[in-house]
Amino acid sequence: MKLFRYGNPGHERPALLDAEGIGRDLSSVVGDIDAAALSDEALAHLSALDLSRLPRVDAGVRIGPCIAGVGNLIGIGLNFADHAAEAGLPIPQHPLVFNKAPSCIAGPDDPLRLPPGSLEVDYEVELAVVMGRDAWQVEAGQALEYVAGYCLSNDFTDRAWQSRYAGQWTIGKSAPGFGPLGPWLVTKDEVPDPADLLLELQVNGQVRQRSNTNGMIFKVPELVAYLSRFFLLRAGDVITTGTPAGVGMATKHYLKAGDVIHAVCRPLGEQRIVVAATEPQR
């Protein structure tokens, strides 16, 4: 299934795509696409619905973040060897873990407004994992049983804040709009191998990143198992799994107002984000 949320920011409604690609409103069935809707039982109930009886979602409506109520937005750094190389950093021996403030989460086509004082805002197309069950002390062999599905993400980052301002990654990665998710939350039955997905990102029509997730150093089962050794992963938590080479940091071509960022990963969908002018500093 491809689940999504639509409507004005803060007032999104749950929906899914039917076999013809038509959005169907799920408001009469679930309150939202959140942790409660992601259990195996809840997903089985949704998959058994007669979608023809549900209202259509109007074409052209805003698509919001594909998951609501995210408690923990976890990032994995330097998880592609080619990206570590372009950053001039060694390949990590263990997953490099950081957090993004959940308040950075945005819709897949929402404008990216550069935050006041930002200097070097960069893009990072990534595969994101959405947890469907709580996970604690999980083995890699069983890790995917705890996953509800996957979505497309972009780990926007101000490199100056990340690297030169106190060296704190969370600060550089958590401004409003720095975590677009979606458009679709694609359930795991439609993604048989998360280590075989093609990620691509263009800026103003020029391909900057293009790589398969088989290039990840630590694959999804390893990441879920590793994180669950140290803290309890909750249903609805999101893990962004790292970006391949081609980020702006490598060429010093950072984002500016008017840039158009187009990210795609089939079957996860596409994001088209326009960079807006910097907010005035208060």
Distance of CA 149 to the CA centre of its chain: 11
Q: How many residues does the chain have?
A: 282
pLDDT > 90: percent of the chain:
92
* pLDDT (average), residues 12-37: 97
* CA 159 to the chain's CA centroid: 19
Query: How many percent of the chain have pLDDT more than 70?
Result: 99
- How much is the pLDDT for 142? 98
Please determine, for residue 89, whether its predicted confidence score (pLDDT) is greater than 90.
no
281 has a pLDDT exceeding 70? no
Which H helix or E strand runs over 106? strand 105-106
Query: What pLDDT, on a 0 to 100 scale, did the predictor assign at position 280?
Result: 61
Q: Where are the domains of the chain?
A: 69-276
Q: Are strands 125-131 and 238-240 parallel, antiparallel or unpaired?
A: antiparallel
Residues 6+ apart with CB under 8 A from 50: none
Provide the mean pLDDT of the chain. 96
What integer pLDDT is reported at residue 214 of this predicted model? 96
pLDDT in tens, 173-203: 999 999 999 999 999 999 999 999 999 999 9
What is the CATH code for 69-276? Answer: 3.90.850.10
Strand partners, 147: 131
Mean pLDDT of 158-171: 90
State the first-to-last Cα distance of the chain, in angstroms, to the nearest integer: 44
Q: pLDDT tens digits for 34-87?
A: 999 999 999 999 999 999 999 999 999 999 999 999 999 999 999 999 888 898
